[in-house]
Structure 1
Amino acid sequence: MTEQLHSMKSVANRISLSVREVYRLIAKGELPKPVKVGRASRLFESDIQTYLERLKANRN
Structure 2
Amino acid sequence: MTATYNPVLCAEDPLIDMTFITTYTGMTDKWFYKLIQDGEFPKPIKLGRSSRWYKSEVESWMQQRIADSRRA
Unpaired segments of 5 or more residues in structure 1? none
| Superposed CA RMSD | 1.1
More strand by share: 1
TM-score normalised by length of structure 1: 0.86
Bigger fraction of residues in helix:
2
Q: Deviations over 1:6-53 (max 9, x none)?
A: 111211111111111111111121211100122100111011111111
Q: So what's the TM-score if we normalise by structure 2?
A: 0.74
Query: Which whole-Å CA distance do the structure 2 matches of 1:49 and 1:15 have between them?
Result: 10
Give the 4+ runs in structure 1 shifted more than 4 A.
Answer: none
Instruction: Structure 2: give runs of 5+ residues left out of the alignment.
Output: 1-7
Instruction: Tell me if 1:57 matches 2:67.
Output: yes
* Structure (1 or 2) with the larger CA radius of gyration: 2
- Equivalent residue pairs, number: 60
Identity %: 28
